Amino acid sequence: MRIVAATDGSESANRAVDLAARLAKGLNGSLKIIHVVTERDADPDRVGDYAHSEHHESSAEAANMFSEEKLKDARQRALALGVSNVESASLLELEAGAIAETIMDAAHGDEANMIVLGKRGLSRLSGLLVGSVSQKVVCAATCTVIVVP
């Protein structure tokens, strides 16, 4: 069993990572945790302290560090729940608004049997206006999808 869990660091995403980890452990499967880096992540208000650190040359570099921190936290959560086979990846969203497609592409590329993600992430307003990422994944994915509230 190959499981892909998407995270953005929100509470809902943390619950999704926890469930994905428990499933991977119980099914003796592998878990890949992904975070999709978007142009929105380069916004100084979103990346917080990373944008103000003198170690980062650009907002894109700050966004990558923000993403890596979210992945590190999620990976530690999964390892603490007993999953032995955990990978993580930061993915770049190539087209504006294509987070769902990026998640599905990652799952397809990894030949995942399941995608686990949170119902609502950090960007609640954009989800209400253009349709949530979880809704898009549920409607278009070719594997099992679990959405965690």
Spell out the domain ranges in the chain.
Answer: 2-148
Phi first, then psi: give them for residue 86, nearest 5 degrees: -125, 125
pLDDT band at 128 (very low <50, low <70, confident <90, very high): very low
The CATH architecture assigned to 2-148 reads 3-Layer(aba) Sandwich (3.40)
Q: List, for residues 43-55, the tens digit of each pLDDT value.
A: 555 545 444 455 5
H-run or E-run covering 80: helix 59-80
- What span, in angstroms and rounded, lies between the C-alpha atoms of 149 and 139? 17
Q: List, for residues 54-111, the tens digit of each pLDDT value.
A: 554 566 777 788 889 999 999 999 999 999 999 999 998 766 678 999 999 999 999 9
The pTM of the whole model exceeds 0.85: no
Number of H helices, E strands in the chain: 7, 5
- What span, in angstroms and rounded, lies between the C-alpha atoms of 40 and 31? 26
Q: Calculate what percentage of the chain has a pLDDT beyond 70.
A: 76
Q: How far is CA 97 from the centre of its chain?
A: 15
- Looking at residue 61, what is its pLDDT? 76
- What span, in angstroms and rounded, lies between the C-alpha atoms of 139 and 120? 16
SS (H, E, C) 92-132: ECCCCCCHHHHHHHHHHHCCCCEEEEECCCCCHHHHHHHCC
b/e burial code for range 67-83 (CB count within 10 A of at least 16 → b): beebbeebbebbeebeb
Phi first, then psi: give them for residue 131, nearest 5 degrees: 95, 135
